[in-house]
Chain A
């Protein structure tokens, strides 16, 4: 996913630069008066490249690189780290899958207790009649979920695991 994003971004930037490099000078070639070159200090190069100077492309690439790095840092990390999302009623709580925690949420029937332990999540207890939620056992991978429908509590794990690192979620 990261690779695809990078390729797309690079292609987009190349295209932008190409557009900038072609459209602008083509328009300028016609307009550039013979004496303008001296005033604008174009270094005597042909007018076709007046729009982009030597430092422009490296600087634009630098800006793009900073943008890409920030994208990878922000979204790359959050994609690798799975989060536990607990929903009850209209509210949502988000917990880290990596920190052990016991979460109590209140639904229409009473309080359900959800345990996050060793990167796994399960319903410890719930005030429902059928106890399906407790019987559901544990979940540990993004996309998995357990729910206590009678008490309207929904628990899911979010985040895309890095396929190369199976231990990413159970560190």
Chain B
């Protein structure tokens, strides 16, 4: 997956650039949701979570507002793609995505990119999403027997979290687009601070 490095360098202000980046990453969320939907799953809620990749990439690029907007776009987009927008599955997806987005954002911002990499962020994000969904399943669907779903569910989260994290590390080091965005964002943050 190569990003286009020749993005317009025109100085349109940070807001426009952030908006464009949110739109681009949101579009990727939809695309990856579609890919994800094509892959057969052993259990209905067991996803690889590749639709969370743009969310992880966005961790260092946006302030909280646009970041959670992207999370919302991802959730709604995934609901549209999988046709679960108006079913209870959507609530699971919503709760899972936002709990993992919150955890990832808090960890990455709280500890800083120097102390926590995408592997740690991705693993904890997947774990948070899965724990929340198992709890919801316990309350709303399976009751007591939801616990039998938990171990394979959590184990899958660890594996996919690490895999996504490794991918993100590789991607962020390769992508010119990402580095350009990152430089813009950190300079914007620096301007606000001074």
Contacts and interface: CB of A to CB of B under 8 A. Distances in A.
| Genuine A/B complex | yes
Interface of A: 13, 16-17, 20, 23-24, 27-28, 31-32, 36, 39-43, 50-60, 62-64, 66-67, 70-71, 73-75
Contacts of B114: 41-43, 53
B190 interface: no
Given A24-B169, A28-B173, A63 B158 contact: yes
Contacts, number: 108
Contacts of A50: 117, 169, 173
Contact of B173 (A23, A36, A43, A58): A36
B154 A66 contact: yes
B107 to A, nearest CB: 8
Given A16-B162, A41-B112, A66-B127, A53 B120 contact: yes
Contacts of B186: 39
A87 B135 CA distance: 32
A2 to B, nearest CB: 13
Contacts of B131: 66
A25 to B, nearest CB: 8
Interface of B: 107, 111-117, 119-120, 123-124, 126-127, 131, 147-148, 150-151, 154-155, 157-159, 161-162, 165-166, 169-170, 172-174, 179, 182-183, 186
Contacts of B147: 70, 73-74
Contact of B117 (A27, A51, A67, A75): A51
Contacts of A39: 179, 182-183, 186
| Interface SS of chain B | helix
Contact of B154 (A16, A41, A58, A67): A67
| Interface SS of chain A | helix
Closest 7 CB pairs of A and B: A56-B120, A59-B120, A71-B151, A53-B117, A67-B154, A43-B114, A55-B116
A55 B115 contact: yes
A139 B170 CA distance: 60
A52 B151 contact: no
A16 B159 contact: yes
Given A70-B150, A74-B151, A56 B173 contact: no
B119 A27 contact: no
Contacts of B119: 20, 51-52, 56, 60
B161 A40 contact: no
Nearest to A20: B166
Given A20-B166, A74-B151, A40 B120 contact: no
B170 A20 contact: no
12 contacts: A13-B158, A16-B162, A41-B112, A51-B117, A53-B114, A53-B120, A54-B116, A55-B120, A56-B116, A56-B119, A70-B150, A74-B150
